[in-house]
A and B are shown apart, each in its own frame.
Chain A
């Protein structure tokens, strides 16, 4: 079952522009994370925001979380060609046994053109 649903599915921008990706989810969460995937490679953790946080920054990344709307956004400022990748949100939900089940969305493909 998919929890996180990213939108848009694909985004094409010019270098220097900002890129915004959105993620919606269905159930209550412990935290939400964003991952990056270069073509065909493993995902790399970018940033985590806890359910009691509203905004978080890391370098050129800004993540917001609105638990009332069950949505999150990832903003990449001043994008570079090297930011070209797929970006996934993943929600962590407490499961029986006390572990956080990670559920990934389908991802947003970002292309940054020089």
Chain B
């Protein structure tokens, strides 16, 4: 079964305490992406990766880091979280080729930074 697994589902942390949200996919996709979802703003892309060791900034990368050491995993790292990073985060593994595109999403991580 095609799956994108994100952990944790819920996280409450304090300002400045480093955290990592993990994301793993079993579809052998090269393209993965992180989004944050805030009310009224839809999904905004944080970082994406087109392959192992290839990552690039999306539209809202400030305060985030990513790594792609292996194809299946794409963790999101908040080195020093701040309250404005309180949000709902989604990892997506994206099938893309020619004119076909389909994103498979994880279940989301609801992060609260106090």
Chain A partners chain B: yes
**A interface vs B, CB < 8 Å?**
1-2, 4, 30-31, 33, 35, 40-45, 48, 50-51, 88, 90, 92, 97, 99-107
B95 to A: closest C-beta gap in Å: 9
- The answer to whether A45 touches B104 (Cβ under 8 A) is yes
Select the residue from B35, B99, B102, B110 with max chain A CB neighbours within 10 A. Answer: B99
**A35-B103, A48-B102, A106-B42 known; A42 and B110 CB under 8 Å?**
no
Partner of A104, one of B31, B42, B108: B42
Number of interface residues of B (CB under 8 A): 29
Q: In the complex, are the beta carbons of B90 and A42 less than 8 A apart?
A: yes
- Is B34's beta carbon under 8 Å from chain A? no
Residues on the B chain within 8 Å of A106, using CB: 40-42
| Residues in B neighbouring A50, C-beta threshold 8 A | 99
**Which of A41, A51, A88, A92 contacts B43, CB < 8 Å?**
A88
CB distance from A79 to the nearest CB of B (A): 23
Contact indicator B42/A105 (Cβ below 8 Å): yes
Which chain A residues border B96 with CB–CB below 8 Å? 92, 99-100
B102 and A104 contacting across the interface, CB-CB below 8 Å: no
Q: Decide if B100 is an interface residue (CB 8 Å cutoff).
A: yes
Distance of A21 from chain B, by nearest CB (Å): 14
Complex A-B, nearest 3 residue pairs according to Cβ-Cβ distance, in ascending order: A42-B105, A106-B42, A104-B43
Cβ distance A22 to chain B, nearest Cβ, rounded Å = 15
Chain A hits for B31, CB < 8 A: 99
Chain A proximity mask over B90-113: 1 for CB below 8 Å, otherwise 0: 101010100111111111101000
B41, A33: Cβ atoms closer than 8 Å: no
A42 touches B43 (CB 8 A): no
